[in-house]
A and B are shown apart, each in its own frame.
Chain A
């Protein structure tokens, strides 16, 4: 399997341009947002510093620019659908950042809109194939069920990534690691158009991570987390790497699933009264022993004992790396040709 030389050059350019654009846009937001009073309190530090927020526009605008550039090069409608899904989810996130949607059901319902480009652009049957490819067993016909799954997938995945945005650098670091297996499987499938369209997700997350890592200079907000999650989901659908994507994003899916099953309803994370973690006087984080506190991934990590915020994030990224490894194994076990 040899990747053409010109493809490697274009991939490097796409990655570098997305990285540079996100870096510059985020830098601009870090300087301008606090002047406009757009800051959020960092609850996991004793000094409770005010951090610039939301950084999502820097993420999804740079991704949009590069994806549209790729669409004009390849003319592949799937790339356009990825760009539109990302943009719509980002705008919904911005609405949530600005007006703080209190009702837990509104955001998932709005996010169904973000999945529509995948279904609506499919008039010539070019966007998605309702035959997901499973490891070992090959592809399965899900002709009637698949569109319904598409409608449900974007809200589920983007909310799952949104719930990962709890500590400095957790979301952006997680997205970098979780996306690598997608690139690997798309190369194995020789779907170079979508492989190229996946690179902006890594490039943008990496540039944002520089500002988002501990101690954060900016938070992505819902506009960033929902856009990244929706883009990840769109790539999985149009690139036909659904199962690999599910395995790769397993920590986020389990996290949101554990939260929802412990609070027993669809809930906006801001409205959860009992916090899953406690900030100790030495600056470390500890798991709450309250029975009513939601069971989150962070609380499960901290159940072992108190840790610094940096260590918790490091553990989350290790879990992501383990999931990415399992996703690569899944890729190798998948008969892509069937």
Chain B
């Protein structure tokens, strides 16, 4: 239950970071050409994907820690 609850909290934390920090990013303010919009969106997708990857790493570490502790005791 702890792992599921923690995963749920991490999802909310991730959503907060995505909506308040990543979504407002604009590295080309004032520019409306296609390349700028595309690059800006690409940066947002890459940042969100990094967060998702981080979520996966945290869950794997947590699982390994849990199994190591339980199986050794």
Q: Contact between B71 and A287 (Cβ–Cβ < 8 Å)?
A: yes
Question: Which residues in A have their C-beta under 8 angstroms from that of B7?
Answer: 250, 254
A135 near B: Cβ within 8 Å?
yes
Q: Can you list 24 A-B contacts with CB-CB less than 8 angstroms, sorted by A residue number?
A: A134-B15, A134-B19, A135-B12, A136-B12, A136-B15, A137-B19, A247-B11, A250-B7, A250-B8, A257-B56, A261-B56, A287-B70, A295-B67, A299-B67, A300-B63, A300-B70, A303-B67, A303-B70, A318-B1, A319-B4, A322-B5, A323-B4, A326-B8, A330-B8
Which of the residues B1, B11, B71 comes within 8 Å of A319, measured between beta carbons?
B1
A192 near B: Cβ within 8 Å?
no
**Per DSSP, are chain B's interface residues mostly helix, strand or loop, or mixed?**
helix
**In the complex, A289→B71 CA distance in Å?**
7
Nearest Cβ on chain A to B37's Cβ, whole angstroms: 12
Question: Which residues in A have their C-beta under 8 angstroms from that of B15?
Answer: 134-137
A181 near B: Cβ within 8 Å?
no
Number of interface residues of B (CB under 8 A): 20
Nearest Cβ on chain A to B8's Cβ, whole angstroms: 5
Residue of B nearest to A251 (CB): B4
Nearest Cβ on chain B to A20's Cβ, whole angstroms: 34
Contact with B along A184-211 (1 / 0, CB 8 A): 0000000000000000000000000000
**Per DSSP, are chain A's interface residues mostly helix, strand or loop, or mixed?**
helix
Which of the residues B4, B11, B67 comes within 8 Å of A322, measured between beta carbons?
B4
A258 near B: Cβ within 8 Å?
yes
Contact with B along A302-338 (1 / 0, CB 8 A): 0110000000000000110011001000100000000
Nearest Cβ on chain B to A305's Cβ, whole angstroms: 9
* Known contacts A135-B15, A287-B71, A303-B71, A295 near B8 by CB under 8 Å: no
Nearest Cβ on chain A to B68's Cβ, whole angstroms: 10
**In the complex, A74→B23 CA distance in Å?**
38
B3 near A: Cβ within 8 Å?
yes
